[in-house]
Amino acid sequence: MGTDTDWQTISAGGFHVCATKSGGALYCWGLNSTGQVGDGSGTDRFAPVLVGTTSDWAVVAAGGYHTCGIRNDASLWCWGWNSFGEVGDGTQGEGTEALEPIHVAPGQGFRSLAAGDYHACAIADDGSLWCWGANAEGQIGNGGSSDVLTPTQVGGSTDWVAVRAGQYHTCGLREGGSLWCWGANERGQCGWAPPGGAAEPRAVGPGEYTSVTTGQQHTCAIDADGSLWCFGLNDSGQLGIGSNTDASTPAQVEPGTKWRSVAAGDWHTCGEKLDGTVSCWGWNHFGQLGNGTTSDDTTNWTPTPVD
């Protein structure tokens, strides 16, 4: 298993990981106390275990303590912790955890999804956006603050192309490259001056973005010209702008560099440059920047090549 070369997609959650293989089989491993691995056991798994008996998984997203996936028939399935309704089956609270995948929103087809710490979102086949789970900060985007136990449409737009979920905020891209965020904004992670958040999608400044990623309290997005922009919490230099001062509007990372992709962890960020090299920045206490050290100094406040 560890030497297999047919892995297709991968997603890392709070303390677990899930990945699909080229044939469509889904494997998960790691913490499983709330069933987030999905093998029906609730036992921590130290190596990949097969989820279910089907081999038709197309997409997987691992959240804080829950997981969701989309199968080849566009059906949506979730499992794991459900204290805030993040499984999406209409239940909530202790004893409603799902140890195996549960079909969510039968009859509706989906094409992409994202799982945050305590909520999840998915884009339907028609381009509409749906979210469910914890909503105390408005991260569901339905204008309210009550937890949402089944997928609920966000606004009436049907031109969503990407969505990412952070701890208590959510961001998405619409056709044309406009960036929208909603939810908590106490550190500027939604892209405007804190502390006021938004319970519905709100546009984030100018730009024509092609991808977006959300960390715990920060957000990064790549513009169509290849430039990288980050905003939000920056205590550990996770914005990559050379300081540890928060930014409430998009701030450019390493001006002059073209970026291909970016991924945000809780307090660190990594990106692939157009030349194929990978750099990381932010918190490095556990060596998560991959630069051969565990130091947390100012050199980590800008992109540092991975050894």
Question: According to the model, what pLDDT value does residue 2 have?
Answer: 73
The string of pLDDT tens digits covering residues 274-305 is 999 999 999 999 999 999 999 999 999 999 99
Average pLDDT over residues 21-30: 97
Question: According to the model, what pLDDT value does residue 123 have?
Answer: 98
Average pLDDT over residues 195-215: 96
Question: According to the model, what pLDDT value does residue 83 have?
Answer: 98
Question: According to the model, what pLDDT value does residue 255 have?
Answer: 98
Question: According to the model, what pLDDT value does residue 1 have?
Answer: 74
The string of pLDDT tens digits covering residues 173-192 is 999 999 999 999 999 999 99
Question: According to the model, what pLDDT value does residue 277 have?
Answer: 97
Average pLDDT, the chain: 97
Domains of the chain: 1-158 (2.130.10.30), 167-307 (2.130.10.30)
Q: What are phi and psi of 298, to 5 degrees?
A: -65, -20
Separation of alpha carbons 75 and 136, rounded Å: 27
The string of pLDDT tens digits covering residues 63-97 is 999 999 999 999 999 999 999 999 999 999 999 99
Question: According to the model, what pLDDT value does residue 194 have?
Answer: 92
Q: If DSSP codes are grouped into helix, strand and coil, which group holds residue 273?
A: strand
